[in-house]
Amino acid sequence: MHQILVVDNNDNSRMQTIRFLTRNGYSVSGTTNGQSSIERVKKNKPDLILCDFNCENIADTMFLGTIKEICPEAIVIIITSNSNVKEAVEVLKQGAYDYIAKPVSPDKILMIIKNALTEKPKEVKITGPVQSDTKKSVILKSEYHNKYIIGTSVEFAEIIRQIDLVAPTNFSIIIYGESGSGKEAIAQQIHEKSKRAGKPFIAIDCGALSKELSGSELFGHEKGAFTGALNKKIGCLEIANEGTIFLDEISNLPYEVQVSLLRVVQERKIRRVGGIVDIDIDIRIIVASNTNLRNAGRGKFREDLYHRLNEFIITLPSLRERKHDIMLFANYFLEQTNTELGKNIKGFTKEVENILMNYIWHGNIRELKNVIRRATLLTNGALVELKSLPFELNCFNQKFISPIIQNADHQKINKSTPDLYEANTQSPNLDAAYEILNGIQQG
């Protein structure tokens, strides 16, 4: 039986929470302030701590750190009546699992607790060079043995707020973002925070589906429906029943398949290819695109399907717009590859950090990960050096970053803020950089 510690200085609220969680099968105890809760954690090592942030000694940046030192595996959920972005970022950075603003229903708390205790995801906190007064961090979780990254920098705080807002609903969602910017990670996060958590999450890359078989992959087919259909096949929509289906790059779906998908969105019914019976399904639909579906053009994406899916839109910033996250991600990928290759590389030279911070990441997080993996493989020393970076990054450095560093006004660029392009926004080199880099990558 999981042990839960409730920290709340309001006697009525604390007792109601304890009784409610006890009725739902948990072993629950309570305390009224931060100091007594620390003593209780030392003694009992609870699985989860539900903590009101308004209690004495709680709203202190040292509290969570102390709890994590005593009991690193404990899951900490913060409830607060004074929600703000900076506080949320700091609490997550200190190791909290979730940050919930009041008012919150007991059923929602129960759902979050169940998800937290069921998933127990590995959370890795990485601190790197910060680029503003507000420190940044990332949360890295494991799902089906694949790593994905959710940033909690200031630039990403609004995305997190939107996820928390829409996740408990059953809205269909369109996620816009460049290739490699983490659209599937956002879809997974929405699924995990929804009432469908624990049910199937099926991700489909529509660009990888052939025109001939895309209908069969999504809807399934009956035996003999077409040449080669030797057995009945269950489609991805049916497999995702009661869960979430994520259709990446949905504009690549053939137009005739879009017609069938429209019926799914409208009526939550499917019919297998070659079938005559409708099958009821209960799924949430999240789609993604790197282009605006509304402006896709006649014959490319159905306007009526767009309006059916367009219940909520999330637009992801590119890595170029989240520059303060770059070194945090880079350090994580370095640590991950160190483990994979049995190496112990400590970090990056200053020159390499400047390149990583200012390179034009057309491939976003995915491209950054591949660059770090390759560089780690090629590095034999304690730090990743310039010679370990791929040709296009070296070329970019020679043409733009090195000249800027040599000619930079030190009042604009200093060691704590190596944001070279922001300090040189008037430089004509920036436009040229895009043109030359495109030529390098295409060549």
DSSP letter string, 155-191: GGHHHHHHHHHHTTS---EEEE--TTS-HHHHHHHHH
> What is the CATH superfamily name and number for domain 154-315?
P-loop containing nucleotide triphosphate hydrolases (3.40.50.300)
Q: Check whether 225 has a pLDDT greater than 60.
A: yes
Q: Check whether 151 has a pLDDT greater than 80.
A: no
Tell me the two tokens of residue 278.
Answer: 């409708």
Range with the lowest mean pLDDT among 37-41, 56-60, 130-134?
130-134
pLDDT bucket at 153, cuts 50 / 70 / 90? low
190/173 Cα distance (integer angstroms): 10
Q: Check whether 129 has a pLDDT greater than 90.
A: no
Tell me the two tokens of residue 169.
Answer: 């609903």
Structural domain boundaries in the chain: 3-120, 154-315, 322-442
Residue 403 has a pLDDT of 57
Q: Are strands 269-270 and 279-280 parallel, antiparallel or unpaired?
A: antiparallel
CATH fold label, 322-442: Helicase, Ruva Protein; domain 3 (1.10.8)
Q: Check whether 435 has a pLDDT greater than 80.
A: no
Strands (E), 64-126: 75-80, 98-101
Single pTM value for the model: 0.58
Strands (E), 322-427: 347-348, 383-384
Across 108-126, average pLDDT: 66
What value does the mean pLDDT of the chain take? 79
Q: What is the CA radius of gyration of the chain?
A: 25
- As a whole number of Å, the end-to-end CA separation of the chain is 60
413/419 Cα distance (integer angstroms): 7
- With DSSP H G I counted as helix, E B as strand and the rest as coil, what are the percentages for the chain, rounded to 5? 45, 15, 35
pLDDT bucket at 109, cuts 50 / 70 / 90? confident
**Pick among 3.40.50.2300, 3.40.50.10860, 3.90.650.10, 3.40.309.10: CATH of 3-120:** 3.40.50.2300
Which whole-number Å values give the CA distances from 339 to 39, 252, 301, 368, in the listed order? 36, 37, 44, 18
Q: Are strands 138-143 and 269-270 parallel, antiparallel or unpaired?
A: unpaired
Q: What is the pLDDT of residues 259-289, one digit of tens each?
A: 899 999 999 999 998 888 899 999 999 999 9
Tell me the two tokens of residue 219.
Answer: 């809807």
Q: Check whether 423 has a pLDDT greater than 50.
A: no
Across 252-260, average pLDDT: 89
pLDDT bucket at 233, cuts 50 / 70 / 90? confident
Of residues 283 and 432, more confidently modeled: 283
Across 92-115, average pLDDT: 79
Residue 24 has a pLDDT of 86
CA dihedral 375, 381, 383, 389 (to 10 degrees): -30
Across 225-238, average pLDDT: 84
CB atoms within 10 A of CB 10: 13
Question: Position of tokens 């007594």?
Answer: 36
Question: Position of tokens 């590119």?
Answer: 318
Fold match flag (3-120 vs 154-315): yes
Q: Check whether 217 has a pLDDT greater than 90.
A: no
Q: Check whether 183 has a pLDDT greater than 70.
A: yes
Percentage of the chain lying above the pLDDT 70 cut: 76
DSSP state of 251: G
pLDDT bucket at 373, cuts 50 / 70 / 90? very high
Q: What is the pLDDT of residues 9-30, one digit of tens each?
A: 888 888 889 998 988 889 999 9
pLDDT bucket at 245, cuts 50 / 70 / 90? very high
